[in-house]
Amino acid sequence: MCGIAGQARAGGAPVAAETIARMCAAQVHRGPDQRGIHVADGVGLGIQRLRIIDLEGGDQPVANEDGSVVVVLNGEIYNYAELREELLRGGHTLATEGDTEVIAHLYEEEGVECLHRLQGMFCFALWDSRRRRLFVARDRVGKKPLYYSARGAELSFASELQALLQDPAVPRQVDPEAIDAYLAYGYVPAPGSIFRGVAKLPPAHRLVYEDGALTVERWWRLDYASKLEVGDVEELHERIREALRTAVRRRLVADVPVGAFLSGGIDSSAVVTAMAEQSAEPVKTFSIGFADEAFDELPRARRVAERFGTEHNELVVEPDAIAMLPKLVRHYGEPFGDHSALACFYLAELARGQVTVALNGDGGDESFAGYQRYSSNLLAARLDRLPAGLRRAIAAGASGGEGADPRTLRSRLARFGGRLGAGRERRYLDQVNVFDAAARDALYTSDFAATVAPGSADGALLGPWREASGATLLDQLLEIDASVYLPGDLLAKIDIATMAFSLEARSPLLDHELMELAAAIPPEHKARGTQRKIALRGALRGRLPDEVLDGRKQGFELPVARWLRTDLAPFAREVLLDRCGAERGWAEPAAVEALLDEHVAGAADHGRRLWSLLALELWAQQTLDAAPEPALAVA
């Protein structure tokens, strides 16, 4: 796990090693163990390495035998040992025992198609000096990030935005439509970024830059069209268990201590189960809890830890965690509104005290249908058969019925009824939006609204919806979440939080073979009525406590609504109504103040919206208002 950076220039124009070094220094937290830089005509590659495998011999950049192919890698190639043996039998000479060198030699054999042979989480950059080609690729699911800026005869890239900005040629003009997308989703979806002229390489995409010519294309996607024939359900359950065991086994390979995040939910518990089955020593587990029992999963996490005899560690997060916010905002580089990132930072800090690698349960909901919105969408789709007039009447009757707590049955029914009059796509957009289109219109100043094309934010989901391969509504929803929400929110959250503390996070449920199996499971074995994760629960029945398998889904949420009515209310008001924020001209101060007043009074729950606005304003203060920092000094 590392941070990479680099620059390529057309015509062999020189690249300054000092620029590459500054880009590396800005992400030293991703890899404090080693810095490596390769500079040649027209290219510079840099790496900050966190040593996980081949601790002594695996430093980067790594080259092939004659030095014509050079690679830097962020991530892990889990099947590198098998590939290495194959390459050795084919006559290649490998100088290291690590995974990065395998990429260089595999590229010699198969060119850019070598990607299909790699199992793992990765983003790598490869320089082919014979073709004067920069080849950059991101893993199938999007575990490892990459920002880049292409400016005709020059391209720069880095694992994190603040590292990319160490190149003075990278543009820094805020994109209004990125702010609009951020307020819609709580993050800026790929390929966009908060700055015009800066892009994120989407998951499962590769970038090729040859003397000024840039090509970006997709190289893999999940197939939801082909389905398994399920005759014996227990046989399906065993296939899931075996795929999970294999995925976990691949991710236990390390030359450093390994542990696991344990929330007490099904997904992380499933991972710990498979780890305990395959580990000679007790698994080290780490959990975060809250004083508010409605959000606290520590009791269930303890139950799982006791069952498998883990070395369990806990931390209760309190509202004074606000002290972590500036660090959180700084590390994400662009606005990021998922408030559970705060808990992830504390969890990563807790784990890093004992381990260098932590396995987690990310991906289970998107593969096996764990979110409540899947059930509500399936029910709403059935009600679409009702006459339009009746659906409109139900929607009208439900409007205004939502209470101050969105978690109550009354609030959920009100939201469900209010969406019945919308089409499937709009219904889903309204579910996942932080500020829906109407709420954003009410928030913006007229000048700012004029800079945003109507409906521009919708394209992040409507585009993948149109391209979805699944024939059923559930498969379409799963595909959209796996391609947009998962990498844009969840994986970005965990990557930045863990890398801030030089901790490598591995996600067995994001193993692409396990995901391909899940995509092929018929939808009725994933969600039916109010039941969700049907096949996964069945596969784990008897292995996990029933209270974990049958308990209400909690999710990794913080009690921010309560915090923003109590301990954090003065801080939020001070930040959000700051004069500089008002002068930005994005939001009407009166509209922001109304959200604060309604929330504190308990008239409505605007916790998620206020947190998103708070993260945006803190980002603007740190990035746009602060005096320019001096260039990083590098050795």
Q: With contact defined as beta carbons under 8 Å apart, do 249 and 289 qualify?
A: no
Backbone angles phi, psi at 233, to 5 degrees: -65, -35
Closest CA to 470 of 220, 203, 222: 222
Please name which of 127, 123, 121 lies closest in space to residue 107, comparing C-alpha atoms: 127
Euclidean distance between CA atoms 622 and 635, whole angstroms: 26
Give the list of residues 6+ apart from residue 308 with CB closer than 8 angstroms, or none: 272, 273, 276, 283
Could you give the CA distance from residue 146 to residue 121 in angstroms, rounded to a whole number?
13
Cα(354)–Cα(165) distance, integer angstroms = 33
209: closest CA among 132, 111, 115?
Answer: 132
Closest by alpha carbon to 35, among 8, 56, 59, 54?
59
- What is each CA distance from 329 to 218, 303, 326, in whole angstroms? 30, 34, 5
Task: Give the closest residue to 138 by CA, choosing from 156, 166, 151, 157.
Answer: 157
Residue 2 annotated to the active site: yes
Strands (E), 87-165: 120-128, 133-138, 147-150, 154-158
Residue pair 49/101 in contact by the 8 Å Cβ criterion: no
d(CA 106, CA 123): 16
Residue 284 β-bridge partners: 259, 311
Phi, psi of 275 (to 5 degrees): -65, -45
Report whether 251 contacts 78 (CB < 8 A).
yes
- Of residues 333, 7, 6, the one with CA closest to residue 178: 333
Residue type, 531: Q
Rounded Cα–Cα distance for residues 526 and 514 (Å): 14
209, 345, 626 from 19: Cα distances, Å:
19, 29, 22
How many helices (H) and strands (E) the chain has is answered by 28, 17
User: How do 34-40 and 43-49 pair as beta strands?
Assistant: antiparallel
In whole angstroms, what is the distance from residue 289 CA to residue 277 CA? 26
Question: DSSP character for 105?
Answer: H
Distance, in Å, from the CA atom of 210 to the CA atom of 171, rounded to the nearest integer, reads 22
According to DSSP, residue 471 is labeled S
Q: How many residues does the chain have?
A: 635
Listing DSSP states for 548-559 in one string gives HHSSPP--S---
DSSP-assigned letter for residue 602: T
Catalytic residue among 2, 24, 114, 123: 2
Would you name the residues annotated as active-site residues? 2
